[in-house]
Amino acid sequence: MELDERAEDLASDLGVDKEEVKADLQNLVEYSVPIDEAVQSLRRKYGDGSSGGGGAPSSKDVAEITPEDSSVTVTGVVLTAGKRSIRYQGSDHVIVEGRLADETGAIDYTAWEDFGLSPSETITAGNAGVREWDGEPELNLGESTSLSFLEESLEVPYKIGGDAQLADLQTGDRAVTIEVSVLECERKTIDGRDGETDILSGVFGDESGRLPFTNWDPAPEIEEGGSVRIENAYVQEFRGVPEVNVSEFSTVTALDREIDVGSDTATMDIGDAVATGGVYDVEVVGNLLAVRDGSGLIQRCPECYRVIQKGQCRTHGDVDGIDDLRVKAILDDGTGAVTVVLDDELTERVYGGTLEDALEQAREAMDQEVVAETIRERIVGREYRVRGHLSVDEYGANLDAETFAESDDDPAARATAFLEEVDA
Ligand SMILES: [Zn+2]
């Protein structure tokens, strides 16, 4: 049992009676205190670290820290430090998140107190809590952590600061610095946690790619067509793709130079693209294996715009549907498969007619399935190059197509290209 083990470790660390520690621990856990927090508060109760009598957690190199450690003392260089406001137990807390490194490795940390951390400083964190996140250890710097700044700085084989390119950003990244062009930007009023509030949302671009963003505290510098430098942004997943979050703690500066936006999207194997868990801008090439049900001429609910069956919306019941066109097709390149979703415009192109043409074809045949059938005949079995937004969830991988074109590289040309690569 975990509690028993933790009590034993703690008792031997602190040099106190195991039964006593266990009873205390049990008590805290019964009050729903997470076990790690309970261990921390017992360390405080039994005077850990203050006596110097073997109570302080041992000093460890970053690479040695494991999720099994309950707390450690560690010395390292602050690589990044980003402030963020979170709502915890009903009130707002400002936390600082980032990475800390020594010669052996780097580790994520969260500071629950304002220690004044900033990049390139060398610190010793005494009695830093360790928790597990995604199988990796993370440091929790809190009340019971004693933090000191060292004058002598440590040399570490890691980049200091959060400079990044959009293509490198991943969900969970903190304290990033980017220089981007604002490709799209609109002001929206949302029903936030403190009532109605204005936010900006849109798309950033740089040499490496594009990513959607939300600016929670609208910065006047962020406007369509402009270029900005943003310090201390963080990345969170939204609708299956990473999104740049610009908060009240981010610094936004207008740049007086243009940021080139790369036109080359990363072309990826479908398997690799799906494995990323979502990419805002990606291109894949594959064979179109099938056109799924719910393609062709469809009807949408006028209220929620979801696709309806036989005039019935799952949420709004009997409704007067709006006619629309779309395609959901399975694209496979041998490494994986995605469902490519074509909007009305792309569907008109592959169908070779307008919505009116589709309605007329359906009326003549007295069956709207004929539209999907026509599309099937035109695209199944061919190879397509598709660029768009890939989102992945428990129902599968969807690629919302921005462009959809028959692949011009025929197999013979690809074989030649492959041979040239081998030669080189
Ligand atoms: Zn509806």
Average pLDDT, the chain: 88
309 forms bridges with which residues in the sheet?
A: 312
Taking the centre of ligand 1 as the mean of its atom positions, its distance from the CA of residue 150, in whole angstroms, is: 61
Taking the centre of ligand 1 as the mean of its atom positions, its distance from the CA of residue 277, in whole angstroms, is: 29
Among 228, 254, 280, the domain-final residue is 254
Q: Is the pLDDT reported for residue 123 higher than 70?
A: yes
pLDDT digits (tens, 9 = 90+) for 257-285: 999 887 666 789 999 999 888 888 899 99
Taking the centre of ligand 1 as the mean of its atom positions, its distance from the CA of residue 305, in whole angstroms, is: 6
Taking the centre of ligand 1 as the mean of its atom positions, its distance from the CA of residue 321, in whole angstroms, is: 9
Note the pLDDT of residue 47: 61
Claim to verify: residue 279 and residue 396 sit in the same structural domain? yes
Taking the centre of ligand 1 as the mean of its atom positions, its distance from the CA of residue 304, in whole angstroms, is: 4
Provide the domain count of the chain: 4
Taking the centre of ligand 1 as the mean of its atom positions, its distance from the CA of residue 190, in whole angstroms, is: 21
Claim to verify: residue 233 and residue 246 sit in the same structural domain? yes
Contacts of 359 (CB under 8 A, 6+ apart): 297, 323
Taking the centre of ligand 1 as the mean of its atom positions, its distance from the CA of residue 347, in whole angstroms, is: 23
Note the pLDDT of residue 50: 42
Distance CA 422, CA 191 (A): 57
Taking the centre of ligand 1 as the mean of its atom positions, its distance from the CA of residue 141, in whole angstroms, is: 47
Taking the centre of ligand 1 as the mean of its atom positions, its distance from the CA of residue 318, in whole angstroms, is: 9
Taking the centre of ligand 1 as the mean of its atom positions, its distance from the CA of residue 359, in whole angstroms, is: 22
Mean pLDDT check: name the lowest of 335-349, 367-381, 392-406: 392-406
Distance CA 157, CA 93 (A): 32
Among 229, 254, 279, the domain-final residue is 254
Claim to verify: residue 110 and residue 157 sit in the same structural domain? yes
Claim to verify: residue 138 and residue 198 sit in the same structural domain? no
Note the pLDDT of residue 424: 44
Taking the centre of ligand 1 as the mean of its atom positions, its distance from the CA of residue 399, in whole angstroms, is: 23
Claim to verify: residue 281 and residue 404 sit in the same structural domain? yes
Claim to verify: residue 66 and residue 33 sit in the same structural domain? no
Calculate ∠ Cα 180-182-183, nearest 5°. Answer: 120
Decide if 397 contacts 269 (C-beta within 8 A): no
Taking the centre of ligand 1 as the mean of its atom positions, its distance from the CA of residue 316, in whole angstroms, is: 4
Torsion region of 363: left, alpha or beta (phi above 0 gives left; psi -120 to 50 gives alpha): alpha
Taking the centre of ligand 1 as the mean of its atom positions, its distance from the CA of residue 302, in whole angstroms, is: 7
Taking the centre of ligand 1 as the mean of its atom positions, its distance from the CA of residue 239, in whole angstroms, is: 20
The stretch 127-150 carries a mean pLDDT of 92
The pair phi, psi for residue 22, each rounded to 5°, is -65, -40
Taking the centre of ligand 1 as the mean of its atom positions, its distance from the CA of residue 395, in whole angstroms, is: 21
Distance CA 168, CA 227 (A): 19
Residue 261 lies inside a defined structural domain of this protein: no
Tokens for 393, please give them: 């969830």
Taking the centre of ligand 1 as the mean of its atom positions, its distance from the CA of residue 208, in whole angstroms, is: 39
Among 254, 288, 316, the domain-final residue is 254
**CATH code at position 129:** 2.40.50.140
Taking the centre of ligand 1 as the mean of its atom positions, its distance from the CA of residue 28, in whole angstroms, is: 47
Contacts of 127 (CB under 8 A, 6+ apart): 43, 48, 49, 56, 57, 71, 72, 73, 144, 145, 146
Claim to verify: residue 76 and residue 206 sit in the same structural domain? no
Decide if 71 contacts 42 (C-beta within 8 A): no
User: Running DSSP on this structure, what letter comes out for residue 32?
Assistant: T
Question: Which amino acid belongs to residue 285?
Answer: V
The pair phi, psi for residue 301, each rounded to 5°, is -70, 135
Taking the centre of ligand 1 as the mean of its atom positions, its distance from the CA of residue 311, in whole angstroms, is: 10
Claim to verify: residue 278 and residue 406 sit in the same structural domain? yes
Strands in 216-319 per DSSP E: 227-238, 241-246, 251-254, 278-291, 296-300, 307-308, 312-313, 317-318
Tokens for 133, please give them: 């996140």
197 forms bridges with which residues in the sheet?
A: 190
Tokens for 181, please give them: 């062009």
**Nearest to 276, CA basis, from 400, 395, 402, 392:** 392
Residue 417 lies inside a defined structural domain of this protein: no
Q: Is the pLDDT reported for residue 414 higher than 70?
A: no
Residue 282 lies inside a defined structural domain of this protein: yes
Residue 416 lies inside a defined structural domain of this protein: no
Q: Is the pLDDT reported for residue 141 higher than 90?
A: yes
By three-state DSSP, how is residue 183 classified? strand
User: Running DSSP on this structure, what letter comes out for residue 416?
Assistant: H
Residue 420 lies inside a defined structural domain of this protein: no
Claim to verify: residue 289 and residue 405 sit in the same structural domain? yes
Share of the chain above pLDDT 70, in %: 92
Taking the centre of ligand 1 as the mean of its atom positions, its distance from the CA of residue 343, in whole angstroms, is: 19
Taking the centre of ligand 1 as the mean of its atom positions, its distance from the CA of residue 271, in whole angstroms, is: 34
Taking the centre of ligand 1 as the mean of its atom positions, its distance from the CA of residue 334, in whole angstroms, is: 37
Taking the centre of ligand 1 as the mean of its atom positions, its distance from the CA of residue 240, in whole angstroms, is: 23
Claim to verify: residue 283 and residue 406 sit in the same structural domain? yes
Residue 265 lies inside a defined structural domain of this protein: no
Decide if 165 contacts 174 (C-beta within 8 A): no
Decide if 331 contacts 286 (C-beta within 8 A): yes
Taking the centre of ligand 1 as the mean of its atom positions, its distance from the CA of residue 153, in whole angstroms, is: 61
Claim to verify: residue 294 and residue 343 sit in the same structural domain? yes
Taking the centre of ligand 1 as the mean of its atom positions, its distance from the CA of residue 284, in whole angstroms, is: 33
Mean pLDDT check: name the lowest of 51-55, 243-247, 360-364: 51-55
- The residue segments making up the domain with residue 327 are 270-411
**Nearest to 289, CA basis, from 329, 327, 326:** 329
pLDDT digits (tens, 9 = 90+) for 308-340: 988 999 999 999 999 999 999 999 999 999 999
Residue 67 lies inside a defined structural domain of this protein: yes
**Tokens 């729903």 correspond to what residue?**
32
**Tokens 């999720």 correspond to what residue?**
67
Taking the centre of ligand 1 as the mean of its atom positions, its distance from the CA of residue 298, in whole angstroms, is: 14
Claim to verify: residue 222 and residue 173 sit in the same structural domain? yes
Helix axes 344-351, 369-379, angle to 10 degrees: 70
Residue 94 lies inside a defined structural domain of this protein: yes
Taking the centre of ligand 1 as the mean of its atom positions, its distance from the CA of residue 308, in whole angstroms, is: 8
Note the pLDDT of residue 341: 97
